[in-house]
């Protein structure tokens, strides 16, 4: 350290001595010379400034990364907390599961007037309101066969009710969850069935559409029973078939089981996209995969359904049904897995109650793209119904 500082000190003393011994213009020149030398000696420290700037920039970048990671960690913790909280919320509030099964609060399509089925292209349809119980009112649509399209124009409810006594068979259609009797795929099915020569009667269960009441499995079944009896009181000896779709298959088998127990079975039962029971459907539903392997899945998610009185036990009901059964199911159904429809068919085929009746399973290949609600598009559907119900299409349209 001494070797380095001695030349600097000696140089400084020499500059001072020269400065003090000189006069006039020599002093500023020597001062400038000394300053220049000092600056040159200190020049080696100049790179320190860029290095400090780079360090500061790196610190800011690291700070930003830490901030982003902190925010991401907060989001992940919130998602994890919500994921864990939902099962407990469902368990503590079983009504949540009931709403998710019924989805009656989802009214699709929106902004349609259910009192005007003609707005949906059903110009040969009449809107009714029936009252199964006190404080319960249900909205009903009755579509006559297409061959009566012109005759039906401008006719009132009484004419439509009397028309049920004609020689044309009747299909009571029980729709699935969500939406209303005016749902697009449902309207398209009414048109197909009407073109084949059927009366189509459908309705919204209590709590759906413009129907008044609180949804429940017993209530939905009673609504269907009331409409069936209303049809039979007007249709005379005409065949009456029950058609259920998705959740409506649960209502349909409940209804037909009761009808068979009181010895007034329908002429046939058609189940489109059915499941075995609501527990298996909930467990097999694609959306349940998020929690399917969650510890205590049954206790958290399935038991509350049963505790709410919701069973829709198609697999048990078919053991007590004595009428012809047709099951329609698409292999690419994303809502009710195809294997549940096949399983229900196997149960029904082995049931003694069907030993004197036809039991038929009609699959639709996944390449057709019918999925959960587009089987009505199948060009084979008229032939399938004709062969199963034993009526020829030309006879129905005469």
Q: Which residues are catalytic?
A: 246, 333, 372
Burial of 256 (0-12, 13-18, 19+ CB in 10 A): buried
Q: Which residues are CB-neighbours of 375 under 8 A, at least 6 positions away?
A: 272, 273, 328, 330, 364, 381
Burial 108-130 (b: 16+ CB within 10 A, else e): eeeebebeebeebebebbbbbee
Q: How far apart are CA 375 and CA 378, in angstroms?
A: 6
Residue 200 host element (H or E) = strand 199-203
Burial of 318 (0-12, 13-18, 19+ CB in 10 A): buried
CB 8, CB 34: distance < 8 Å: no
* Eight-state DSSP code of residue 336: S
- Residue where the block lists tokens 């009214």: 107
85: tokens are 């909280």
Percentages helix, strand, coil for the chain, rounded to the nearest 5?
A: 55, 15, 30
* Eight-state DSSP code of residue 212: B
Residue 14 host element (H or E) = helix 2-21
**CA dihedral (128, 132, 138, 140) positive or negative:** negative
CA atoms within 13 A on the CB side of 41: 13
- Residue where the block lists tokens 């999925």: 371
132: tokens are 């199964």
């Amino acid at each position: 350290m001494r070797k380095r500082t001695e030349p600097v000190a000696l140089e400084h003393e020499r500059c001072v001595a020269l400065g003090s011994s000189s006069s006039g213009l020599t002093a500023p020149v020597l001062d400038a010379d000394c300053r220049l030398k000092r600056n040159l000696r200190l020049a080696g420290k100049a790179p320190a400034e860029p290095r400090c700037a780079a360090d500061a920039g790196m610190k800011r970048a690291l700070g930003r990364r830490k901030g982003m990671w902190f925010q991401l960690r907060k989001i992940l913790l919130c998602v994890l907390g919500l994921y864990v909280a939902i099962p407990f919320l469902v368990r503590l509030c079983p009504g949540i599961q009931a709403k998710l099964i019924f989805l009656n609060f989802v009214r699709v399509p929106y902004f349609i007037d259910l009192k005007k089925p003609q707005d949906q292209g059903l110009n040969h349809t009449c809107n009714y309101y029936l009252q199964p119980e006190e404080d319960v009112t249900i909205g009903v649509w009755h579509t006559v066969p297409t061959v009566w399209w012109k005759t039906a124009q401008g006719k009132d409810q009484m004419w439509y009710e009397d028309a049920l006594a004609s020689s044309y068979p009747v299909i009571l259609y029980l729709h699935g969850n969500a939406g209303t009797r005016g749902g697009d795929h449902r309207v398209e099915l009414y048109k197909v069935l009407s073109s084949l020569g059927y009366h189509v009667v459908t309705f919204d269960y209590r709590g759906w559409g413009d129907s008044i009441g609180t949804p429940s499995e017993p209530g939905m079944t009673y609504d269907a029973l009331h409409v069936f009896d209303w049809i039979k009181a007007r249709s005379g000896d005409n065949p009456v078939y029950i058609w259920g779709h998705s959740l409506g298959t649960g209502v349909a088998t409940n209804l037909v089981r009761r009808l068979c127990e009181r010895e007034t079975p329908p002429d046939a039962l058609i189940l489109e996209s059915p499941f075995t029971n609501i527990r298996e459907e909930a467990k097999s539903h694609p959306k349940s995969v998020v929690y399917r392997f969650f510890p205590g899945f049954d206790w958290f998610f399935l038991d509350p359904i049963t505790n709410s009185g919701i069973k829709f036990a198609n697999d048990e009901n078919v053991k007590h049904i004595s009428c012809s059964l047709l099951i329609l199911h698409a292999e690419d159904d994303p809502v009710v897995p195809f294997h549940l429809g096949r399983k229900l068919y196997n149960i029904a085929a082995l049931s003694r109650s069907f030993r004197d009746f036809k039991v038929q399973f009609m699959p639709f290949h996944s390449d057709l793209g019918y999925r959960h609600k587009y089987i009505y598009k199948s060009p084979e559907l008229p032939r399938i119904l004709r062969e199963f119900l034993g009526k020829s299409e030309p006879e129905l349209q005469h």
